[in-house]
Structure 1
Amino acid sequence: MDNKKDQWSTKLGFILSSAGAAIGLGAIWKFPYMTGTNGGGAFFLLFIAFTVLIGLPLLIAEFIIGRGAQKEAVSAYQKLAPRAPWSLIGHWGVAGAFILMSFYSVVGGWVLIYSLLSIPGKIIQENADYPELFAAITGSPLLTIAGLALFVLLNIIVVSFGIKDGIEKASKLLMPLLFVFFIVIVIRSVTFDGAMEGIRFFLQPDFSELNAENVLYALGQAFFSLAVGISVMVTYSSYLKKDVSIPASAGSVAVMNIFVSLLAGLAIFPVVFAFGLEPAEGPGLLFIVLPEAFAQMPFGELFLCLFLLLFLFAVMTSSFSMLEIITSAFTEKKERSRKKVSFLAGILVIIAGIPAALSSNLLAEFKIFGKTVFDASDFLVSNIMLPAGCLFIALFIGFIMDRTLIKQEFSNGNKLQGGTYLIWFQLMRWIVPITILIVFLSTLGVI
């Protein structure tokens, strides 16, 4: 199958699918606990600043590279800059997406298990011990691997149908449901007694506790939540029609991502503070703290079920993009079947994800630089591969890619965007790479 014959059927489908790629674990799972452990409102403000000033320009850049080349990630860089090292950016992205999906799918498996348990009301029980439940699920090698495999299988099914009939149709259904469920949860969350303290923690910045590491995490969170740096959006935009405005589409994705992050904070922190729980719980925040909080409210099981289904929808739409970049890299030639390649890629993801799935049980004592396989994979992708990939892309756009093609794809024939183009291009050429380098060097203690 020639996957280049496949295109997004509508602009809305592209935006929802791209937003779905960005809105997932980054916005709903990782953002709340990163905010809770890195300064609350100050972290959120930094995250917004990095998203607008660094993430959005990079998102536009990936859209331009993908549609300009009309190729998936690997082939796009090979076409636009055949000589190494620039043509290796696509390979870097595929490798990053593969590693990311291997541990991402572990959490996806947890969400899937929790969602299945919540439907018949098996989570919130009288005298339930939620830390023990989380430990029992993550501590079971069989359950974690089964959850991982089932989650990846669902991705294989959707991605095997292609862009228009698979990813776009799923995103058009799941993304609106995600927003409806989220708004219901937020309305309930902010009406608790004591919720205002959680809102202040989340929205009122206090920069006294910030350090270089917090800043790096905020930058990494902006990259992670927008899915930039591993060329996922290069692949998605390669299916984009020429009459769609790239800056407007990228802006819509960024705004939706910030809005969902805001909703995530408003859904979680008011509940956490209203019930006297700990906002710095870490990765277990959604699986331990929230069930405990929902257990104390009327219709708590219903709201928990809605939240977990919402969470599952977001995780799925995000993981589609990771499997898509891996699959599309190997389906450029007609003789390669998308269904077979997506199946084989999914099987490899499951195999690669097993060590991360076992990090909370059989391999809990196995450390890489003091981190479990899961945590080491997360750190490698979020704090090294994503920022490095973003740096490579910024340099590629600023100094390597053909300027005429860049301007053509950015402006799309609209002369009014000329001034905006100049601002964006200078950001990409100087501000974005310099900011990434400064944050890196500061974290390493060099400056």
Structure 2
Amino acid sequence: MNDKREHWGTKIGFILSSAGAAVGLGAIWKFPYMTGMNGGGAFFFLFILFTVLIGLPLLIAEFIIGRGAQKEAVSAYQKLAPKSLWSYIGHWGVVGAFILMSFYSVVGGWVLIYSIMSVPGLVITDNADYGQLFAEITSSPLLTVAGLALFVSLNALVISAGVKNGIERYSKVLMPLLFIFLIVIVCRSLTFEGAMEGLRFFLQPDFSKLNGDNTLNALGHAFFSLAVGISVMVTYSSYLQKDASLGKSAISVSLMNIFVSFLAGLAIFPVVFAFDLEPTEGPSLLFIVLPEAFAQMPFGEVFLSLFLFLFLFAVLTSSFSMLEIVTSAVTEKVRYSRKTVAWLAGLIVFIAGIPAALSSNVLADFTLFRRTVFDVSDFLVSNIMLPMGCLFIALFVGFRMNRDLVYQEFHLGSKVSDIVYKFWFQIIRWLAPLIIILVFLYSLGILYD
């Protein structure tokens, strides 16, 4: 067993790393197309509301579990609730993170290959057919598996270096770069004729477009976008010193997530409307629609390359957390070094991800429950493991965890009033579980609009 416990070097390092875990495919890829498909500004308003009311309290709950136990996900629950079913919540999170990492890395590989090809002068030209290019990447077994291998290797390289010298070090570089690149893209997007129409769509709520369907979509995306539910934040907060305020840290992470989503919307919707594109394009918005728009503008190749690389940075900082929860859980139980475990975990993730990588080509006709391997993995994690994990965590903190420890961790490092604590605790105990159950039933098709 590894008895030497690492810690974050700085508070800002923890915040940036935690924000990086939350800001990934959700904020840069999924948020814009979900906003486009679910009513624009009204969806964005609900996303902010639910992030503050539900996502933030859940994030604080995970922080309390991790720092309260000073253990990674598996050992934390075993320490706080020994010899009970509650102690298996950590195992649930590790399995969920592993499955998520296996297919998330496939998309990461696509982004990596696409980003490399976007470098001016390499592959993409002014008259490129981006739909065909993306199809060529995803339909090639060699490119998809190579992208998967390279993406997982980058993660293993960072995780093997440790918390302070790996995750924190790279997050403190990649996260500021992400903000800078996003702001550059936003400044360019707002200069187009017709950009104001995109701004109105994104920032002017039309509540007449809301229904039960897109309301629950906003709710689900709110707590999924904060990386809560698979105990990633339990592991991250276990490396945090006792003088840090968990509430302030959680608020900082939540605000960063909202801000990046806001910037992503400002970067994308003005371009979409300026070039008479459809905001409801769905998942293809980032890989096909936007590149075609960038191709029509002066220096479009440069801005496209910047946009794709900032997307790559976001995907990487998010994936670090997934491999870290697996690596830390194994390192805690064995005598092997973190470096050995990280690369071994990376190898297993790569092997597990191959069927998902081949789902868009040679295994396209192979289905389980009428879904490809990739889609099955996505459905299992997004629709079952994440909401159930959120429910388990809320109930654990609300009913099982030592109340004195919860109170102590909530107040450490800050002078927050008992009224705020009681309000947060009631949300965790009653409101959050009710909302999560509603989302879970809806995601399974049991609850309809």
Q: Sort the TM-score into its range (normalised by shorter chain).
A: over 0.9
**Which residue does 2:380 correspond to in 1?**
380
Correspondence list, 1:79-98, <5 A: 79-98=79-98
The superposition leaves residues 222-269 of structure 1 with CA deviations (integer Å, 9 ceiling, x where unpaired) of: 222100000000000000000000000000000000000011111111
**More moved, 82-91 vs 359-368:** 359-368
SS in 2 for 1:332: helix
**Which residue does 1:444 correspond to in 2?**
446
Kindly indicate whether the alpha-carbon contact (under 8 Å) linking 1:124 and 1:295 is maintained by their aligned counterparts in 2. no
The superposition leaves residues 317-341 of structure 1 with CA deviations (integer Å, 9 ceiling, x where unpaired) of: 1100000000001011461211111
**Which residue does 1:294 correspond to in 2?**
294
> Aligned pair in 2 of structure 1 residues 368, 204: CA closer, same or farther (>3 Å)?
farther
2:407 is the alignment partner of 1:397: no
* Structure 2 letter corresponding to 1:276: D
Q: Whole-Å Cα distance in 1 between the matches of residues 330 and 247 of structure 2?
A: 29
Deviation at 1:206, TM superposition (A): 3.0
> Aligned pair in 2 of structure 1 residues 249, 271: CA closer, same or farther (>3 Å)?
same
> Aligned pair in 2 of structure 1 residues 210, 356: CA closer, same or farther (>3 Å)?
farther
Q: Whole-Å Cα distance in 2 between the matches of residues 224 and 122 of structure 1?
A: 36
**Which residue does 1:342 correspond to in 2?**
342
**Which residue does 2:201 correspond to in 1?**
201
Correspondence list, 1:47-446, <5 A: 47-333=47-333, 335-412=335-412, 414-442=414-442, 443-445=445-447
Deviation at 1:439, TM superposition (A): 3.2
Kindly indicate whether the alpha-carbon contact (under 8 Å) linking 2:398 and 2:428 is maintained by their aligned counterparts in 1. yes
The superposition leaves residues 52-81 of structure 1 with CA deviations (integer Å, 9 ceiling, x where unpaired) of: 111100000000000000000000001001
Kindly indicate whether the alpha-carbon contact (under 8 Å) linking 1:7 and 1:164 is maintained by their aligned counterparts in 2. yes
SS in 1 for 2:355: helix
Deviation at 1:367, TM superposition (A): 2.6
Q: Whole-Å Cα distance in 2 between the matches of residues 3 and 276 of structure 1?
A: 59
Q: Whole-Å Cα distance in 1 between the matches of residues 448 and 401 of structure 2?
A: 31
Deviation at 1:209, TM superposition (A): 4.0
Kindly indicate whether the alpha-carbon contact (under 8 Å) linking 1:158 and 1:170 is maintained by their aligned counterparts in 2. yes
Kindly indicate whether the alpha-carbon contact (under 8 Å) linking 1:220 and 1:382 is maintained by their aligned counterparts in 2. no
**More moved, 360-369 vs 303-312:** 360-369
Kindly indicate whether the alpha-carbon contact (under 8 Å) linking 1:155 and 1:323 is maintained by their aligned counterparts in 2. yes
> Aligned pair in 2 of structure 1 residues 398, 129: CA closer, same or farther (>3 Å)?
same
TM-score with structure 1 setting the length? 0.96
The superposition leaves residues 97-145 of structure 1 with CA deviations (integer Å, 9 ceiling, x where unpaired) of: 1111111111111111111112243354243211000100111011001
Deviation at 1:312, TM superposition (A): 0.9
Q: Whole-Å Cα distance in 1 between the matches of residues 123 and 279 of structure 2?
A: 21
Deviation at 1:15, TM superposition (A): 0.3
Q: Whole-Å Cα distance in 1 between the matches of residues 440 and 207 of structure 2?
A: 20
Q: Whole-Å Cα distance in 2 between the matches of residues 336 and 212 of structure 1?
A: 50
SS in 1 for 2:330: coil
Kindly indicate whether the alpha-carbon contact (under 8 Å) linking 2:145 and 2:354 is maintained by their aligned counterparts in 1. yes
SS in 2 for 1:331: helix
Q: Whole-Å Cα distance in 2 between the matches of residues 445 and 230 of structure 1?
A: 24
The superposition leaves residues 331-362 of structure 1 with CA deviations (integer Å, 9 ceiling, x where unpaired) of: 11461211111111111111111121112111
* Structure 2 letter corresponding to 1:233: M
Kindly indicate whether the alpha-carbon contact (under 8 Å) linking 2:67 and 2:409 is maintained by their aligned counterparts in 1. yes
Kindly indicate whether the alpha-carbon contact (under 8 Å) linking 1:4 and 1:239 is maintained by their aligned counterparts in 2. no
Kindly indicate whether the alpha-carbon contact (under 8 Å) linking 2:7 and 2:240 is maintained by their aligned counterparts in 1. yes
The superposition leaves residues 6-29 of structure 1 with CA deviations (integer Å, 9 ceiling, x where unpaired) of: 100110000000001011111101
**More moved, 141-150 vs 279-288:** 279-288
* Structure 2 letter corresponding to 1:445: L
Q: Whole-Å Cα distance in 2 between the matches of residues 333 and 441 of structure 1?
A: 36
SS in 2 for 1:291: helix
TM-score with structure 2 setting the length? 0.96
> Aligned pair in 2 of structure 1 residues 32, 65: CA closer, same or farther (>3 Å)?
same
Kindly indicate whether the alpha-carbon contact (under 8 Å) linking 2:242 and 2:413 is maintained by their aligned counterparts in 1. no
SS in 2 for 1:226: coil
> Aligned pair in 2 of structure 1 residues 16, 126: CA closer, same or farther (>3 Å)?
closer
> Aligned pair in 2 of structure 1 residues 270, 402: CA closer, same or farther (>3 Å)?
same
Deviation at 1:415, TM superposition (A): 4.7
Kindly indicate whether the alpha-carbon contact (under 8 Å) linking 1:33 and 1:283 is maintained by their aligned counterparts in 2. yes
Gaps of 5+ in 1: none
> Aligned pair in 2 of structure 1 residues 446, 213: CA closer, same or farther (>3 Å)?
closer
* Identity, % of aligned positions: 74
Q: Whole-Å Cα distance in 2 between the matches of residues 415 and 109 of structure 1?
A: 45
Kindly indicate whether the alpha-carbon contact (under 8 Å) linking 1:3 and 1:162 is maintained by their aligned counterparts in 2. no
**More moved, 54-63 vs 374-383:** 374-383
**More moved, 378-387 vs 150-159:** 378-387
> Aligned pair in 2 of structure 1 residues 296, 440: CA closer, same or farther (>3 Å)?
same
> Aligned pair in 2 of structure 1 residues 249, 414: CA closer, same or farther (>3 Å)?
closer
Correspondence list, 1:6-21, <5 A: 6-21=6-21
**Which residue does 2:25 correspond to in 1?**
25
| CA RMSD in angstroms, aligned pairs only | 1.7
> Aligned pair in 2 of structure 1 residues 123, 203: CA closer, same or farther (>3 Å)?
farther
The superposition leaves residues 122-177 of structure 1 with CA deviations (integer Å, 9 ceiling, x where unpaired) of: 35424321100010011101100100110000000000011001000000111111
Q: Whole-Å Cα distance in 1 between the matches of residues 357 and 441 of structure 2?
A: 32
